[in-house]
Amino acid sequence: MGRKGANMTPLRMLWVAVRLAWPYLLAPWRSPLLRWRLETYGVVDEHGRLLHADDLTAGRCFWFVRRHPRPLLRFLRWAAEL
């Protein structure tokens, strides 16, 4: 038998994502915490240069989510288990 509440992980992952972006829920790329997290992950621009958190835009944020779904889901799963 798995650990208690293992089937709640997707819901908890969604809750973690909402909490991380909370005051900026409709514009998560403006969240200081998420901007910092994307910067530390190493998001690069179209020329391969690392982006600073202040240079992240909606388009770059959505590009990251589209391009790197597995690391993002792995991070949310890890945060949900804490």
Coil, helix or strand at residue 68 = coil
pLDDT digits (tens, 9 = 90+) for 28-52: 889 888 888 888 888 887 788 888 8
**Triad 2, 18, 67: Cα angle to 5°:** 85
Is the pLDDT at 71 greater than 50? The verdict is yes
State residue 3's pLDDT score.
Answer: 56
Q: Which residue has the tokens 């208690």?
A: 4
% helix, strand, coil for the chain, step of 5: 70, 0, 30
| pLDDT over 90, % of the chain | 5
Lowest mean pLDDT across 7-11, 20-24, 32-36: 7-11
Residue 7's pLDDT band (cuts 50, 70, 90): low
